[in-house]
Chain A
């Protein structure tokens, strides 16, 4: 499948809650190609975060298969694919959370540098990423010395500095005010398009979801 970064076939996941088996995802299939973006929407508890956890190997599916940049994983066995998942997360999958994306003991620049280092990216371009995301002036500040919006931009800089094939963003603007959220989202989409990577974005925000190429609503059956 040329250009396909992410493909899911028949993905299923359920949890045990109060002794009951609660299905969260069932028979989910989709594909996201290079440069495309997919918004995942749904009520709280509908499985958005679970899907993202499955897509970066932090949880194991009950059924189905996930293929990311040519690497396939199915629901069998856990120990085997862990190293491959780790390798994928290190080099190819950038993850952005709602908050707490940064190491508090490192400055913004050092955070970017650490992330790039782990992804085996050559050193030197980290400050430029921060500048492109509008937080170059705060590069030497620590996360607790900058605003939430600035921290989130730095988190995006970290992701782009590792040159990922796929970005998984879980409510990346959820903790920001409208204006800042828009600015951060602008940055995210602009950089994603410039770099040609795929984006899977979990959000409650219909406006934000509307900016994506595709939409997956987990509250809708099928």
Chain B
């Protein structure tokens, strides 16, 4: 029974796998090829008082996930389940990743890993790690002494935020 008439990448799963092994170049019609990129992709954001990491991992099971923070390294290990009963020949399209994946991201500065929090929502794992007290940028008021004379007046400026 032909269910799909177009919109799939390759007609046969085995052929797709073979081709994927052979072709190391980026697939021109698929922006992000799962087998080439590190999984899961991560975005890191920095704020004044914290570091935020977002892992894009749809369909992840919390019980199959391990998140560890050691010093300034954040490691995420994900085991992605395979639908056991379904033989490969029953697939028309089979793009979702299977197997075990891991990412280690080094975050800048000194963080307080004991106060890290993580939440998983809509397939995005968000990890917030507060910066260690001493690593936070401090506001320093700079006093510039005024001198009478020909020197230009210097406005006092605050330190970096």
Binding partners A and B: no
Please list the residues of chain A having a beta carbon within 8 angstroms of any beta carbon in chain B: none
Residues of B within 8 A of A (CB): none
